Amino acid sequence: MMYDSLLSCRVEGWWIVLIKMKDNQAIIQSIQLAAAGAMDDKSLMAETVALLQRERSHYNWVGIYLLEKDILVLGPFVGKPTPHTRIPLNQGICGAAASTGQTLILDDVHADPRYLACSLETRSEIIVPIIRDGQVLGEIDIDSDIPAAFREEDRSLLEHVAEILAPKLSSEVTGLQPVLVTAGILTKGDRVLICQRHHSDAYGMQWEFPGGKVEDNEELKESLRRELAEELSIEAAVGDEVFRLRHRYPDRNVEVVFFLVPSYRGTIVNRVFEAVEWAPRARLPQYEFLEADRELVCRMARGEIA
């Protein structure tokens, strides 16, 4: 049998040969062709995991998990059966990778207390999130029986594969349709209106900008006007959109659209929050904001927005 190339690595005093039947680009091209002709996302995932294991001798277990709400659910895989077919986001290395959206490589799985043991033979692991429009849809999870088996070329290959898979995974499968939210930026000189969530609310006592969920068939600016009336008893003139983001919390995915509110009628009355405060722009990062708002907060403090 002819191989494209051989790799060797030193493990615990031994040199181990890793067989590469195709180079990265050939594998990527094969998966691109599979993606173009696949009947559905499940068949594409099944073909992908089979190809990856076939072409890399050190990929002993290859699987794809899909994120359904706050649970990673095992999809197609090749290798020994695993008891971990459903993994909450707050558990294990798989949960950590999905929560952060970052590729994780473990040279020694047994050295990390987060590791959820699947096979006694497993020594190292790589997990690559599958991301579309800033949202984690799932992840590619690969175990190896060789310590420190995964290198930068594995990361590069698998992150490229994840990019190919991402647009092919349907929202119906992943359950990741985001909740649409509007929020308003009200300013008074160099001060910005911020609101502290009520202690009984989810993420209570954290700070945010006023606003809320968009109702079905509701126009974005009209939604914000309604929310500001309900929360602060004001009649707002909603201006331009200044920032938009998507963020995944453990219990929900949100898309937040921020609008400048240049003026309003009435007197601000706190109707739902723990506290309402006009905060100096430069001091905004000192407040404990919701995770979704923190990038905007930093940009505002630097004077980049509004």
Structure confidence at residue 170 (pLDDT): 66
* Cα–Cα distance for residue pair 56/50, rounded to 1 Å: 10
Residue 121 placed within a domain: yes
* Cα–Cα distance for residue pair 265/247, rounded to 1 Å: 32
170 and 39 in one domain?
yes
203 and 164 in one domain?
no
249 and 183 in one domain?
yes
107 and 44 in one domain?
yes
Q: Which of 124, 157, 174 finishes a domain?
A: 174
Residue 306 placed within a domain: no
Residue 142 placed within a domain: yes
Looking at residue 238, which CATH number applies to its domain?
3.90.79.10
The model carries a pTM of: 0.55
Q: pLDDT tens digit string along 277-300?
A: 999 999 999 999 999 899 899 999
Structure confidence at residue 268 (pLDDT): 97
Q: Which of 133, 156, 174 finishes a domain?
A: 174
147 and 278 in one domain?
no
Share above pLDDT 70 across residues of the chain, in percent, rounded to a whole number: 89
191 and 165 in one domain?
no
Structure confidence at residue 132 (pLDDT): 87
Q: Which of 123, 140, 174 finishes a domain?
A: 174
Looking at residue 20, which CATH number applies to its domain?
3.30.450.40
- What angle do helix axes 152-165 and 41-55 make, rounded to 10 degrees? 160
Residue 255 placed within a domain: yes
- The four Cα atoms 115, 165, 24, 20 give a dihedral, to 10 degrees, of 60
Structure confidence at residue 1 (pLDDT): 35
**What contacts 259, CB < 8 A, 6 or more positions away?**
182, 183, 184, 185, 220, 221, 224, 238, 239, 240, 241, 242
Structure confidence at residue 91 (pLDDT): 86
**pLDDT tens-digit profile, the chain (306 residues):** 334 444 444 444 434 444 446 789 999 999 999 988 887 888 899 999 999 999 999 999 999 999 887 789 999 999 999 889 999 888 888 988 988 899 999 999 989 888 887 778 899 999 999 998 778 899 999 999 999 999 999 999 999 999 999 998 865 445 556 789 999 999 999 999 999 999 988 889 999 999 999 998 899 999 999 999 999 999 999 999 999 988 877 656 788 999 999 999 999 999 999 999 999 999 999 999 999 899 899 999 998 887
Residue 70 placed within a domain: yes
197 and 92 in one domain?
no
141 and 61 in one domain?
yes
How many structural domains is the chain composed of? 2
**Domain with 120 in it:** 5-174
Residue 206 placed within a domain: yes
202 and 85 in one domain?
no
Of the candidates 72, 100, 98, 275, the residue with the CA atom closest to the CA atom of residue 175? 72
209 and 274 in one domain?
yes
Residue 93 placed within a domain: yes
223 and 126 in one domain?
no
59 and 30 in one domain?
yes
